[in-house]
Amino acid sequence: MIKDITIGQYIPGDSFVHKLDPRTKILISMLFIVALFIVNKYVGYIFIVGFLGLSVVLSKVSPRYLYKGLKPVFALIIITAVLNMFMIQGKPETLVFQWSFFKIYREGIDIAVFMTLRLIFLILGTSLLTLTTSPIELTDGIEKLLNPFKKAGLPAHELAMMMTIALRFIPTLMDETDKIMKAQQARGADFESGNVVQKAKSLIPLLVPLFISSFRRADELAMAMESRCYRGGDGRTRMKQLRYQGRDFMAYSVIAALLVASFYVRFGIR
């Protein structure tokens, strides 16, 4: 399951989405989330699915790889659906199932399905950002977007660097966790059997070496940056300057159309 986590991973390519300016992809990802939360009817998901489908085709990322990234959060999706089904109260005539004090209404089922789809689309949409954007491009894009806030004392470069490093090391730590788990299992450790308390205790031999490895990697990274005379963002130059091109404006026009459609679905359709 750990090896299926794709958050923070980057797939090199030369697709239309790969060539977009990182600022464009970051802003489009944020606007996609806004559109996703504006939509409050199932018909609105037609536009969401169309936008996601177009993005996947243009990015040339395998849908199987995106599904692989969904597998680790299936438990969260199921829990979200179950909680919505049992917590939402409806009208007496819409009661579908009752056992003891557990009641499921038609409204609860509708909201559970709606929220499940929203969570799935949210994960798929944001995953495309890291899958098609290298860590260096992501850092430059975040820094450029945060530059206007420098006047307010915001350390744009340092903040962008920290966010990118944290995102980049997610797959590295997952890989390290998988290796430690296999080493512990080879020595007789059992991470599956037992109740919740026993499973939590069995994770202690896993967490201790993982924390030690994390601190060691952080120290090695700090030494590597210091040996290269890294002193923050002041006076730094870039080999590749970010410039908007025609394809970026095409991408903005598509996300603008999605936002207009989302507002129409929410406020225009009765």
Q: What is the pLDDT of residues 192-219, one digit of tens each?
A: 776 767 776 777 777 888 888 888 888 8
Within its chain, how far is the Cα of 44 from the centroid? Answer: 21
Interval 152-176: pLDDT, tens: 777 777 777 777 777 777 777 777 8
Burial of 241 (0-12, 13-18, 19+ CB in 10 A): exposed
**pLDDT above 90 (res 50):** yes
Structure tokens at 20: 């977009």
Task: Enumerate the domain spans of the chain.
Answer: 2-169+241-268
**pTM score of the predicted model:** 0.75
Runs of H (alpha helix) within the chain: 22-38, 44-59, 63-70, 74-87, 106-131, 135-146, 156-186, 196-202, 204-227, 246-263
